[in-house]
Each structure stands twice: as structure tokens, then as C-alpha cells.
Structure 1
Amino acid sequence: MSRILHLLTFPDVQLLDVSGPLQVFATANELMSKQGHPAPYVLKVISAEASSVMSSAGLGLITLPLPPADQACDTLMIAGGRGIDNAAQNPQVLSWLKAQAIGARRVASVCSGAFLLAAGGLLDGRRVVTHWSRCAELTRRYPALQVEPDPIFINDGNVWTSAGITAGIDLALALVEDDLGHELALAVARHLVVFLKRPGGQSQFSATLALQNNAGRFSELHAWIAENLNADLSVTILAERVGMSERSFVRHYRAQTGSTPARAIEQLRVEAARRLLADTRLPIKRVASRCGFGTEETLRRSFLRAIAVTPQAYRERFAAL
């Protein structure tokens, strides 16, 4: 039986918050149809504006009116965008949302769509995530929520929330996997040329980008480290590269980045190893060597510490080849 999915939009919605997840479900329909099965999803883009909304990108979206609040759906998904605060202050939308959520098997938000769910009291006491730039605000405005800034998406009971923008694609793939299995979800990811279907627990932050954002005087050092992960990256070597004493380097580095040099290097090495495990068939021993871990055991321990899976398990689940 087809699952009805209501994707709620509003003026100034983020375009990719709508089109990204929508295409995942549409592709699942296409692939299932090619296999001779009925389309698993009935997709309805809806809004309180009844016929259309203008996205923040300047592209208009044709929408259906809000269905009767007591008309059950399988999945209720809320898009995000800069218009979310106005939507969260709309009494009609909030009233409809609360009633619609009662009959939905699951409720989900993309990016800042979590603010609308929170305004409706649907996230109280739950673990949630939103775009990294608004996590602190979500925590401050809705203290009953357990906001976690790192994950790509979080599933707590029948409620799913996701991080910023493209994380909506990861969320939709996870919902497809929950409905139709890993094989089809991976087929959808490959069809959309999303080479790596990221797990929810993976950080929405790239270690490289996070260090760049906080690097300041150490930007050039981080660029060099990224190009020399299998080199000697001891504090002695790093301090010499930036012309500082070891003690001064460690102190200033922690103050600038919020991390120790050893921890930052491990994050960069794990990130590089993840890419190689997903995108190549290099033996794990060579991945460990190329990324500077030295041995498979060191790589394994770092993976378990960073993302709670072994390198082999990571490859089996997320390899694109």
C-alpha cells in the first residue's frame, strides 16, 4: 500500500529542503516501478497558502492546500528555511500541525523545520538536531528539547529531525531504508549520485572545515597536515613548522581551535580514511598506512572512538563501489 507523505512548505522556504527529500522519495517510486512494484509513496507538497509559495531562492513552488487535519498520513515532513519563524507564528499552521501529527505514523523535519515542530510542542523531551548555526538558538528558545549539534539526523521514537539543508537527503534516504530496506535505499543513493549514504551519527561538520573555521594562525599548518597525514606529526614537528616552542604551540593551538593537536590530527585521519573506505577498494591495511595510522589496529581503535563502528563494518555499509 502506498504511503502518503505530506511535505509542508511556506513562503521563503529553503528550496533544497523541499526538492532534495522529494527527489529521494520520487526516485524510490521510479526504481520500485521498474521492478514491477506499485509506487511506495504518494507525495504531496502542501502549504497554508493553498496554491503556491515562493522559495527563498526565488523559484516558485506549486502546492496543494492543507488537507483536513484529521486526514491521516504516513509521514509528515516539515521543510526549513528563513520563513520558518513566520510559519511557526501562524495559528492556522500550528493548529493544523498538532492535529495532523496525531494521525501520522512519523513526523520529520529538515534543517530549521525543527523550529516549527518545537513551536507545536512535538519535540518536547526528545533528542533533536537542526542546522548547526541555529542549534544554540533552538536550545535557548525551547529548553525542553535535547538539542545535539553534531548528528546528520536523529531518530527519537516516531520523530526524525535532520541537520542543515543537504542533510534532508540523508534523512529521506534513512526513511526509505526504514520503509523498504537497505538495498533499495542504497540504489536510490547511487541513482542520485550520492556516493556515500551517511549514517545519522556522522557529524554534520567536516573535520577539515571545522578546523579551517577555527584555525586563525594555524590555517597553513592544517593545509600541510591534510597533505601529509602519513608523516611524523608529533608536537615537536608541528611546533617547529609554526616557529613556536612546544609548550606555547600546544597552549595557543587549544585556545584557537578548542582541541589538542593529537585530537585534531586523529579527526583528519579518520575523515580521510572514511573517504578511502567508501570510494576505493584499497585494503584496510593500506588505508591505515596512507592515512597515517600505521597499523590496522590503530585505525580500528580510532574508528571506534570517533564513529563507533569498525573500518570493515563502515565499508560494508557505506561503500559506493
Structure 2
Amino acid sequence: MHRVGYLLHPGFQFMTLGTQSVFEFANYEVRERFYDLALYSPGGGQLRSSSGVDVVTRPLASSTQADSWLVSHSVTPLQTSPDPAALALLRRAERHARRIVGLCTGSFVLAEAGLLKGRRATTHWAHAASLRERYPDTLVEEDRIFIVDGPVWTSAGMSAAFDLCLAMVEKDLGDDVARSVAHSLVMQHRRAGGQTQHSQLLQIAPKSDRVQAALDYARANLKNELNVEELAAVATLSPRQFSRVFTQETGVSPARAVEGLRVEAARLMIERSRHPLEVVARETGFRDRRHLREVFVRRLGVPPQSARRAARGVAG
């Protein structure tokens, strides 16, 4: 049995507890109680979340142990300090726990306990700069879904915690179980940890259905050339009108947007498959492997091979 302890602080984000469903359905898939879940807080008893809903927690004690600690903090991490008892427990847990996990702003608790010193970590994008400023010895990567650095795991905000917990299940029980859990939870897919917190389509927010239809078409047909004429036809506009309307609504040119979609798709293939880069380039609309590398480095700052190595390191 793998004991999972949720260490909560007053004002924690209630969505954190939704990740329990990941472990619940993992138990269902393997037909045994592989994961044993419990809620803890420094003082025990009723604890109020940021939404005003109370939960009942167990108190921390010197004998408290878990195989994995999942730590949640307040939604305003700079205005509240972690409890000393929680920090002491995490420092002890570093010696015997299999994992210590900071969910969203829980990364601030791990940093305060000294567990992120010299480690890579992430948190909700809105608090990443504060984490970096307050704990300069932490290597903050603000645009990642989750990061695994040895036994210490950290996730970005909100739904990213589900991706991290699915990665835990994959590590413990294998890819098939994790995939089945994702299917049960009606999640579209399991995002790799190195994936950006911001989807290219979320960053590009068109106001009209015409431009949105063109973007949807582009994403579904990345192998095509996707020139302005092709996209304009989908939007039922002339190429000149389409370029003008597209740029006005999104702030970028059609070519720039399509390039971003290609890079996003290529990164997903690189992180989640073993396809050669020649195949990745062909499937995502780049001329060849060299063109893929050139755009990848320009847009993301790292070559495709480095992204693949980082993703495999996360999976490990």
C-alpha cells in the first residue's frame, strides 16, 4: 500500500482535493487499495478552504509518515506563512518519503522548508516571479505543467495538479493504468510535465467564429502548407481581408500563429513519443528536421533533442 498524505494549510484551493479522484480510479483499475489517502493539517480538525468549504483533517505528529506528501498552500502565498510544524515534518520526510509534492502554491511551502534549494521547480504562473524572488536558490521554470527533480515534484496551478498525479500513477502502476484513469476522468490526454502552461490556442483569442474556424482547421491540418489563401477560404474571406482581420483579433499574423501551432504539436510529439525528428517534422508541417530545429530553438530556446531528454527525465 502506498500512503498519500495531503498536507493542507488554511485557505487552500479546494480544487487540490479533486486530485484524489486520480488515486481513487487508479485503485479501481488495479482492483485493490494501492493508494491510501489521508488529509492532514498542522492543527488537525476542521480546515477552511479558499472557497469557504470546510474539510476534516488529521493532526500532524512526530510519528506521521506517508510515502508521498502532497502539499497545498493558500491561494495568497505571500500573505500567509507555512506552519513551523509542517515545515519540520517535511524536513523529516525528505529522509524517508518516496516523494514530496508541491501542488500549485504548495511549492512555496517546500521552498520555505529548504527542499527546493538548487532544484528545478514550478508553480502557478501568477506566482512564479514571487517564488523566484523570495527563494533565489530555487531554479524556477514558470512555464511548465509540472517538474520532477529527484524525489521532489512541483506542479503549476489548478488542473496541472491532475497531470502531476497521473504521472505519479504512471510511475507507480504503469502507462496502461494511467491512461485508463485519464479516460475515466474524461481528460483529453495526459500532458507531459515539460509542456507549457499556456496553449497556443489559448494565447490566441480571436473574437469571431471565422477566425476561430481557421485556427481549428490549421491545428487539424498541420501537414498542409496552410498559406493565407487556404486559411482565408475556411474563413470565407479574401486573403487580404483575412490577414487584416486575423491580425486585428489576435495580435499576430496568420503565419506567426501557424508556426506556434506547429511548434506546440511538435513538442507534444517529441515529449510523448519516440518518433524520429524527421517524422515529427513531417507530421507537423516543417520542411525537414533542420527547419524544425531552427524554429524550435527560436521559439522555445532549446533544441528538440534537449526537450526530449528533459521529458524522459521527468518520466523517470
Question: Quick one: distance in 2 between partners of 1:274 and 1:223?
Answer: 22
Counterpart position of 1:65: 59
C-alpha distance after superposition, 1:198-255 (max 9, x if no partner):
111111111122233xx9xx99996475155354149xx6798329xxxxx9xx99xx
Q: Could you tell me how far 1:153 is from its partner in structure 2? A: 0.5
Counterpart position of 1:32: 30
Are the aligned partners of 1:71 and 1:103 in contact in 2 as well (CA < 8 Å)?
A: no
Question: Quick one: distance in 2 between partners of 1:135 and 1:13?
Answer: 17
User: What SS is found at the alignment partner of 1:198?
Assistant: coil
Are the aligned partners of 2:5 and 2:70 in contact in 1 as well (CA < 8 Å)?
A: yes
Counterpart position of 2:314: none
- Taking a change above 3 Å as real, the CA distance of residues 147 and 299 of structure 1, as seen in their structure-2 partners, is same
Counterpart position of 2:183: 190
Counterpart position of 1:283: none
Counterpart position of 2:35: 41
State whether structure 2 residue 204 is matched by structure 1 residue 211. Answer: yes
- Taking a change above 3 Å as real, the CA distance of residues 299 and 74 of structure 1, as seen in their structure-2 partners, is farther
Are the aligned partners of 1:266 and 1:302 in contact in 2 as well (CA < 8 Å)?
A: no
User: What SS is found at the alignment partner of 1:10?
Assistant: coil
Q: Could you tell me how far 1:4 is from its partner in structure 2? A: 1.1
In structure 2, the gaps of 5 or more residues are: 219-223, 230-238, 270-279, 306-316
Counterpart position of 1:318: none
Aligned-CA RMSD value: 3.9
Counterpart position of 1:17: 16
Question: Quick one: distance in 1 between partners of 2:139 and 2:286?
Answer: 38
Question: Quick one: distance in 1 between partners of 2:105 and 2:34?
Answer: 27
C-alpha distance after superposition, 1:250-269 (max 9, x if no partner):
xx99xx67xx8755421224
Question: Quick one: distance in 2 between partners of 1:299 and 1:80?
Answer: 43
**Which of the numbers 69, 76, 90 marks the counterpart of 1:97?**
90
Question: Quick one: distance in 1 between partners of 2:67 and 2:121?
Answer: 20
Q: Which amino acid aligns with 1:232?
A: N
Counterpart position of 2:275: none
Are the aligned partners of 2:243 and 2:254 in contact in 1 as well (CA < 8 Å)?
A: no
Are the aligned partners of 1:10 and 1:84 in contact in 2 as well (CA < 8 Å)?
A: no
Q: Could you tell me how far 1:23 is from its partner in structure 2? A: 1.1
User: What SS is found at the alignment partner of 1:144?
Assistant: coil
Question: Quick one: distance in 2 between partners of 1:275 and 1:222?
Answer: 24
Counterpart position of 2:243: 241
Counterpart position of 2:4: 5
After the TM superposition, which of the residue ranges 189-198 and 218-227 deviates more from structure 2? 218-227
- Taking a change above 3 Å as real, the CA distance of residues 157 and 17 of structure 1, as seen in their structure-2 partners, is same
Are the aligned partners of 1:189 and 1:196 in contact in 2 as well (CA < 8 Å)?
A: yes
Q: Which amino acid aligns with 2:201?
A: T
Are the aligned partners of 1:107 and 1:160 in contact in 2 as well (CA < 8 Å)?
A: yes
Counterpart position of 2:221: none
Question: Quick one: distance in 1 between partners of 2:68 and 2:83?
Answer: 22
Counterpart position of 2:160: 167
Question: Quick one: distance in 1 between partners of 2:209 and 2:44?
Answer: 52
Counterpart position of 2:272: none
TM-score (norm 2): 0.73
- Taking a change above 3 Å as real, the CA distance of residues 86 and 43 of structure 1, as seen in their structure-2 partners, is farther
Question: Quick one: distance in 2 between partners of 1:51 and 1:238?
Answer: 64
The sequence identity of aligned pairs, in percent, is 35
C-alpha distance after superposition, 1:4-28 (max 9, x if no partner):
11111122111111222x1111111
Q: Could you tell me how far 1:81 is from its partner in structure 2? A: 3.7
Question: Quick one: distance in 2 between partners of 1:289 and 1:97?
Answer: 47
Q: Which amino acid aligns with 1:121?
A: G
State whether structure 2 residue 260 is matched by structure 1 residue 267. Answer: yes
- Taking a change above 3 Å as real, the CA distance of residues 288 and 219 of structure 1, as seen in their structure-2 partners, is farther
In structure 1, the gaps of 5 or more residues are: 244-248, 277-286, 310-321
